[in-house]
């Protein structure tokens, strides 16, 4: 296993841990005007059946929701303006209690046109059509088995009786777990791909630099080659050729720094370049 792989793996695990710790605000999928909690509240008002929203809160909070529901239905009869205010009050109450049940703060209702993670939208679509195909389109990698199992748990529980609040809460519990798991996985996957892309670019850059660099041969090897060239340039009579002298003058300043190996037997490099 390479060092780069180890570092990347550790970085991925750290990123995943950070996401699980810090993504609670990002996971506020249920606090939007077009989120599942508000949709359930709208359905409850339209049908007069509070059970549509009771499944989104804990049993201990049922009375709070029931009282808010009664007030809402009563106030809605006063006027159109009162109806709008009453509905908004009920939406906020249900979402606030739901968030509190998850241990998360209520930061207000979010507009329907807010930015939502495409993976969450795809997860909801997958549940609606009972198929993972919408989710497959947004995942860069194959869907993990854990996500598949969570999806199946949701689908097998979605056809509960609206008046069976216990079954409804069981569905919501698995739904929330599935949605959050999809979001966490997608965020971790995005970070992993970004890190991999960055590492690839770094390796490519380093590789280019490595290819451009040439490790110089030892000074002794350079001298040996030079001696051979100069020896061939020397005339048979032993007289040093003019070309050899010129070469020696040019190279003198470079090789004279290493005196022990810079003075060859031919004596060429000790010629005064002046």
pLDDT, tens digit, for every residue of 94-134? 999 999 999 999 999 999 888 888 999 999 999 999 999 99
Q: What angle do CA 54, 55, 60 make, to 5 degrees?
A: 60
Residue 58 domain-assigned (yes or no): yes
Residue 202: pLDDT above 70? no
Q: Is 223 helix (H, G, I), strand (E, B) or coil?
A: helix
User: Is 89 found in the same domain as 148?
Assistant: no
With respect to residue 187, please indicate whether it lies within any of the assigned structural domains: yes
> What percent of the chain clears pLDDT 90, i.e. is strictly above it?
52
| Same structural domain, 164 and 223 | no
Residues with Cβ within 8 Å of 111's Cβ and at least 6 positions away in sequence, in order, are 32, 33
End position of a domain, from candidates 69, 92, 107:
107
Residue 140 sits in the same domain as residue 151: yes
CA distances from 8 to 62, 76, 111 (A): 47, 57, 38
Residue 1 pLDDT > 50, yes or no?
A: no
pLDDT at 68: 98
Asked if residue 241 is part of any domain, the answer here is: yes
Q: Are 96 and 157 in a shared domain?
A: no
Higher pLDDT, 198 or 147: 147
Q: What is the pTM of this model?
A: 0.62
Alpha-carbon torsion, ordered 90, 94, 100, 102, to 10 deg: -160
Closest CA to 154 of 114, 125, 194, 183: 125
Domain boundary among the residues 107, 139, 154 is at: 107
One domain, residues 99 and 139: no
pLDDT in tens, 223-237: 566 566 656 665 555
The pLDDT of 49-78, averaged and rounded, is: 98
Least confident of 110-114, 135-139, 185-189, 206-210: 206-210
Q: Based on the domain organization, do 42 and 136 belong to the same domain?
A: no
The domain boundary, picked from 107, 142, 174, lies at 107
The pLDDT assigned to 151 comes to: 98
How many independent structural domains does the chain possess? 3
Residue 271 CB contacts under 8 Å (≥ 6 apart), including other chains: 245, 248, 249, 252
4: in domain: no
Angle at 11 between CA 6 and CA 15, to 5 degrees: 150
User: Both ends of the chain: CA-CA distance in Å?
Assistant: 59
Q: Which of 84-93, 119-128, 158-167, 207-216 has the lowest mean pLDDT?
A: 207-216
Residue 21 in domain? no
| 1, 86, 100, 260 from 42: Cα distances, Å | 55, 12, 20, 94
Q: Are both 168 and 136 inside the same structural domain?
A: yes
Specify whether 119 is located in the same domain as 204.
Answer: yes
* Same domain (yes/no): 209, 241: no
Q: Is residue 22 part of a domain?
A: no
Q: Are 200 and 143 contained in the same domain?
A: yes
Asked if pLDDT for residue 239 goes beyond 90, the answer is: no
Whether 31 contacts 106, CB under 8 Å? yes
* CA 70 remoteness from chain centre: 45
Domain co-membership, 186 together with 241: no
Domain membership of residue 169 as a residue range: 110-215
Based on the fold, state whether residues 94 and 156 are members of the same structural domain. Answer: no
Query: 49 lies in a domain?
Result: yes
| 246 falls within a domain | yes
């Amino acid at each position: 296993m390479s060092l780069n792989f180890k570092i990347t793996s550790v970085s991925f695990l750290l990123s995943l841990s950070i996401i699980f710790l810090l993504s609670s605000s990002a996971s506020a999928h249920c606090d939007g005007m077009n989120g599942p909690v508000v949709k359930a509240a709208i359905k409850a008002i339209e049908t007069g059946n509070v059970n549509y929203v009771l499944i989104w809160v804990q049993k201990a909070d049922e009375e709070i929701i029931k009282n808010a529901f009664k007030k809402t239905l009563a106030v809605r009869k006063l006027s159109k303006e009162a109806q709008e205010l009453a509905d908004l009050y009920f939406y906020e109450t249900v979402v606030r209690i739901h968030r509190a049940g998850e241990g998360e703060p209520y930061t207000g209702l979010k507009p329907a046109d807010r930015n939502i993670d495409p993976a969450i939208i795809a997860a909801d679509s997958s549940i609606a059509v009972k198929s993972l195909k919408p989710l497959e389109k947004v995942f860069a990698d194959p869907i993990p088995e854990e996500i598949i199992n969570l999806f199946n748990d949701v689908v097998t529980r979605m056809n509960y009786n609206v008046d069976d609040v216990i079954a409804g809460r069981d569905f919501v519990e698995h739904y929330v777990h599935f949605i959050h798991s999809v979001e966490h996985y997608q965020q971790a996957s995005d970070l992993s791909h970004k890190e991999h892309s960055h590492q690839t670019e770094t390796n490519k850059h380093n590789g280019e630099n490595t290819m451009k660099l040439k490790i110089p041969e030892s000074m002794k090897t350079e001298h040996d080659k030079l001696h051979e060239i100069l020896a061939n340039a020397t005339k048979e009579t032993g007289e040093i050729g003019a070309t050899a002298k010129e070469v020696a003058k040019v190279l003198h300043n470079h090789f004279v720094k290493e005196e022990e190996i810079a003075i060859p037997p031919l004596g060429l490099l000790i010629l005064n370049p002046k």
